[in-house]
Amino acid sequence: MALHTGRHFLQIPGPTNVPDRVLRAMDMPTIDHRGPEFAELGFEVLKASQSVFRTTQPVIIFPSSGTGAWEAAIVNALSPGDKVLMTETGQFAMLWRRLADRCKLDVDMVPGDWRRGTNVKEIEARLVADKAHRIKAVMVVHNETSTSCISHIPEVRAAMDRAKHPALLMVDTVSGLGSLEYEHDAWGVDVSVSGSQKGLMLPPGLGFNAVSEKALAAAKANSSVRSYWDWHDIVAANKAGSWPYTPATNLLYGLKEAIAMLHEEGLANVFARHKRHGAATRAAVRVWGLELVCQEPADYSPALTAVMVPQGHDADEFRKIVLEKFDMSLGTGLAKLKGKAFRIGHIGHFNDLMLMGTLAGVEMGLDLAGIPHQKGGVLAAMDILKRQDTMPMVQPQSAVA
């Protein structure tokens, strides 16, 4: 291994860079999770979490990865044999589907080419055709981290409403929450699934389910096997600021600090910043002459950018060179994009000069890897970052009430 100095560039789209403030907030003695001091922390993080999901309904926090929170959504709200409608936006949609299959759900999946967000027209057509209302849930990935395409959740909700279909709307916003607009209540989402290590700027280890009254009622009536993931046990314990089992105490200290940082910046500014970094990154990719995985401009993700390498070149060879020479981790292509694409994370704790360092590392790496490209992508990104009209203007207004 080469010797490296300074900070490692962790530009994968999760886990993301953890702010020093959050690291310091977690550097605390672990306390009694049944004591009064803990209850205060418990109440604070539950309330703060609601402010990020934008909900007044319960947010359930698990000591788990995002995958655990996927499973929790399924085992609480659905039973084996239930029909669900999913859409193939990319590898994360495929993994959620595999989990649903293992939970013995009857999955109807709208096919996709991994180059755009959810096909809302097709969702609507299948819901309209489901006269008997056999479909119990529509399950969509908000920010598909394998392709850098987003799905437009309000459009999915509108399609469900037009079809007058009573299915639950379940959304994976593991890599969307805290980096792009999300409105659990206003968008009529029944279960929002998330995790700590993407837009929330925390280490891995917390899983989230924000749940509607309708989803809670469905869970109450659902006798399918579950214990650790059971929403009602947790909601009941949360009323006293505690959990039915040992929560990830120190990650909760971090969560409190990370959400405070999001509100100090203002959620609107956080989202504008991610969009701006996405635009600057795509400007660089355009000059390099490389192809974006996402082919639908309306679906470009503000959180990351997935880039194809030309045929005959290996994206992982390129990533290896960037890691060895410049100490920067870029995201690998997942599943059918393995070797064909790499992903640039610009999500979470991030700023203009970190983006410039990232893009400079990519441009130098393209050269060293012998990948044909035009020079000057970094300059194109600089031009965007210098433009006054893209600078954050909005005053922070989303502070926790």
Ligand X SMILES: *Cc1c(COP(=O)(O)O)cnc(C)c1O
Complex with ligand X: residue 22 or 163, whichever CB lies closer: 22
Least CB distance from residue 287 to ligand X, whole Å? Answer: 28
Q: Which of 21, 67, 188, 230 binds ligand X (CB under 6 A)?
A: 67
Q: Nearest to ligand X by Cβ — which residue?
A: 66
- Pairing state between β 304-308 and 291-292: antiparallel
Cα angle value 192/197/199 (rounded, 5°): 65
Q: Which of 92, 231, 300, 318 binds ligand X (CB under 6 A)?
A: 92
Kindly tell me which of 149 and 174 has the beta carbon lying closer to ligand X: 174
Q: How many residues in the chain?
A: 401
**Is residue 329 close enough to count as binding ligand X by CB under 6 A?**
no
Q: Cβ distance 313 to 329 under 8 Å?
A: no
Distances (CA, A) of 235 to 228, 240, 373: 13, 9, 54
CA 344 to chain centre: 14
Min separation Cβ 176 and ligand X, Å: 7
CB of 89 to ligand X, least distance (A): 9
Using rule CB under 6 A, residue 65 touches ligand X: yes
| Closer by beta carbon to ligand X, 204 or else 392 | 204
By the rule CB under 6 A, 119 interacts with ligand X = no
Minimum CB separation from ligand X for residue 312, in Å? 29
Asked whether position 205 contacts ligand X by CB under 6 A, the answer is: no
In the list 19, 58, 66, 345, the residue contacting ligand X (rule: CB under 6 A) is 66
The residue within the footprint of ligand X, chosen from 141, 321, 330, 380 (CB under 6 A), is 141
Does residue 174 interact with ligand X by CB under 6 A? yes
Closest CB to ligand X among 100 and 141?
141
Applying CB under 6 A, does 172 fall inside the site for ligand X? Answer: yes
3-state secondary structure the chain: CCCCCCCCEEECCCCCCCCHHHHHHHCCCCCCCCCHHHHHHHHHHHHHHHHHHCCCCCEEEEECCHHHHHHHHHHHHCCCCCEEEEECCCHHHHHHHHHHHHCCCEEEEECCCCCCCCCHHHHHHHHHHCCCCCEEEEEEECEECCCCEECCHHHHHHHHHHCCCCCEEEEECCCCCCCCCCCCCCCCCCEEEEECCCCCCCCCCEEEEEECHHHHHHHHCCCCCCCCCCHHHHHHHHCCCCCCCCCCHHHHHHHHHHHHHHHHHCHHHHHHHHHHHHHHHHHHHHHHCCEECCCCHHHECCCEEEEECCCCCCHHHHHHHHHHHHCEEEEECCHHHCCCEEEEECCCCCCHHHHHHHHHHHHHHHHHCCCCCCCCHHHHHHHHHHCHHHCCCCCCCCCCC
Q: How far apart are CA 307 and CA 36, in angstroms?
A: 50
By CB under 6 A, which span of 137-145, 266-274, 283-291, 352-360 interacts with ligand X?
Answer: 137-145
Under the binding rule (CB under 6 A), the answer on residue 288 touching ligand X is no
Contact window for ligand X (CB under 6 A) among 60-68, 322-330, 331-339, 351-359: 60-68
Q: Which stretch binds ligand X (CB under 6 A): 23-31, 62-70, 154-162, 368-376?
A: 62-70
112 binds ligand X (CB under 6 A): no
* 114 binding ligand X? (CB under 6 A): no
Give the binding range for ligand X (CB under 6 A) out of 63-71, 130-138, 161-169, 392-400.
63-71
Binding residue for ligand X, selected from 195, 266, 333, 377, defined by CB under 6 A: 195
Nearer to ligand X by Cβ, of 220 and 336: the residue is 336
Pick from 49, 51, 145, 147: which binds ligand X (CB under 6 A)? 145
Q: Does 14 bind ligand X (CB under 6 A)?
A: yes
What is the total count of residues that contact ligand X (CB under 6 A)?
14
Dig out the tokens for 134 from the structure: 């056999």
- Which listed range, 138-146, 180-188, 315-323, 384-392, lies at the site for ligand X (CB under 6 A)? 138-146
Q: Pick the binder of ligand X from 76, 175, 281, 305 (CB under 6 A).
A: 175
Class of residue 166 by CB neighbours under 10 A (exposed 0-12, middle 13-18, buried 19+): exposed
User: Quick one: 174 or 285, whose CB is closer to ligand X?
Assistant: 174
What residues make contact with ligand X under the rule CB under 6 A? 14, 65-67, 92, 141, 143, 145, 172, 174-175, 195, 198, 204
